[in-house]
């Protein structure tokens, strides 16, 4: 399967971000904790050069806790401020506020020396489609400021959101990059729903997910669907279909329904806490 999804509005959004970056003090980048590297747009490092940087490991509640710790350490070693997060949960937002102020401490001190008091930190919120930017903003603000949706591409234009007297956020559309040099990156993005499912072969995608889970999280897969010790992904998808009553008229197996079920239950965390990308921390 070849993966590529770069709608026209993403080119326009990238140009707008290049213009707006000069207006902000901090770049807040959301990544999906299940695939922290594959869910990072490589353009953002060059875009945010010279700005304070905060990475939010979002959907950490769906990821492997041990891997969350390693990824947090990995990004800290790269010089980022990092917070693990479930963007739907208001409880984690105080930590985010504290880290924003810490990340912009030099800017705040510089303003104070110049006699500029109470100027809010301005932060641009960036990330690829469907990593939860709008959900994060709404939870952080405590009200619905940004449009949300479980399909990529809901946010189309820029929105400034005043959170409080200390922080203003600029919401931006989710953008991918024009070409995936490594197709395994595209595969992982497809797994988490950062591409439009309508352009994908969901049956094939589910078989690829089964292969990955058999390698790293076999128990999550087998226990959720009461599967045998079979290792052929096609036969395992058949077992999932049978055990979850995914059948068509005439008692024929409905592979597509089983495939969609598997992907949905992975994406919503029903399969367990799973991280699809591992990191190896240098001691």
pLDDT for 100 equals 96
Contact 70, 282 (CB under 8 A): no
pLDDT for 4 equals 52
Which CA distances in Å does 249 have to 84, 245, 254, 259? 46, 12, 9, 18
CA distance 225 to 18: 47
Q: What digits encode the pLDDT tens for the residues 142-187?
A: 876 655 544 444 444 567 888 888 899 998 877 765 566 677 888 9
Contact 240, 246 (CB under 8 A): yes
Two tokens, residue 130: 């469907």
Contact 12, 252 (CB under 8 A): no
Residue ranges of alpha helices (H) inside the chain are: 8-20, 43-47, 65-77, 93-103, 105-113, 133-141, 183-192, 202-216, 218-225, 233-243, 255-267
Lowest mean pLDDT segment, chosen from 19-33, 107-121, 174-188, 256-270: 174-188
Lowest mean pLDDT segment, chosen from 74-83, 141-150, 169-178, 273-282: 141-150
**Mean pLDDT of the 46-58 span:** 92
**Mean pLDDT of the 10-39 span:** 86
**Rounded-to-5 percentages of helix, strand, coil across the chain:** 45, 15, 40
- pTM for the structure as a whole: 0.85
**∠ at Cα 182 (69, 149), nearest 5°?**
65
Lowest mean pLDDT segment, chosen from 55-64, 166-175, 217-226, 243-252: 166-175
Two tokens, residue 208: 């690829």
Which residue, among 84, 19, 35, 32, has the nearest Cα to 185 in the 3D structure? Answer: 35
**Residue 280: pLDDT band by 50, 70, 90 thresholds?**
low
**Of 86 and 199, the one with more pLDDT:** 86
pLDDT for 194 equals 81
Two tokens, residue 79: 């010089």
**Of 148 and 66, the one with more pLDDT:** 66
CA distance 84 to 92: 8
């Amino acid at each position: 399967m070849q993966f590529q999804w770069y709608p026209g509005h993403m080119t326009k959004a990238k140009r707008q971000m290049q213009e707006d970056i000069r207006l902000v003090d901090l770049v807040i980048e959301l990544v999906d904790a299940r695939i922290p590297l594959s869910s990072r747009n490589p353009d953002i490092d060059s875009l945010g050069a010279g700005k304070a940087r905060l990475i939010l490991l979002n959907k950490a509640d769906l990821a492997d806790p041990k891997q969350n710790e390693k990824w947090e350490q990995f990004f800290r070693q790269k010089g980022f401020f990092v917070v693990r997060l479930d963007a739907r949960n208001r409880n984690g937002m105080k930590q985010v506020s504290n880290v924003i102020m810490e990340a912009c401490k030099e800017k705040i001190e510089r303003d104070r020396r110049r006699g500029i008091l109470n100027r809010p930190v301005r932060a641009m919120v960036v990330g690829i489609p469907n990593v939860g930017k709008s959900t994060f903003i709404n939870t952080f603000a405590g009200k619905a400021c940004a449009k949300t949706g479980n399909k990529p591409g809901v946010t189309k234009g820029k929105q400034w959101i005043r959170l409080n007297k200390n922080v203003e956020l600029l919401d931006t559309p989710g953008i991918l990059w024009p070409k995936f040099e490594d197709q395994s990156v595209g595969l992982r993005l497809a797994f988490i729903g950062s591409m439009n499912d309508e352009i994908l072969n969901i049956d094939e995608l589910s078989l690829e997910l089964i292969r990955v889970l058999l390698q790293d999280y076999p128990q999550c897969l087998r226990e959720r669907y009461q599967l045998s010790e079979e290792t052929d992904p096609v036969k395992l998808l058949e077992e999932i279909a049978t055990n979850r009553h995914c059948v068509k008229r005439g008692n024929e197996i409905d592979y597509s329904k089983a495939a969609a079920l598997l992907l949905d239950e992975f994406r919503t965390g029903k399969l367990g806490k799973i991280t699809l990308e591992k990191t190896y921390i240098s001691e």
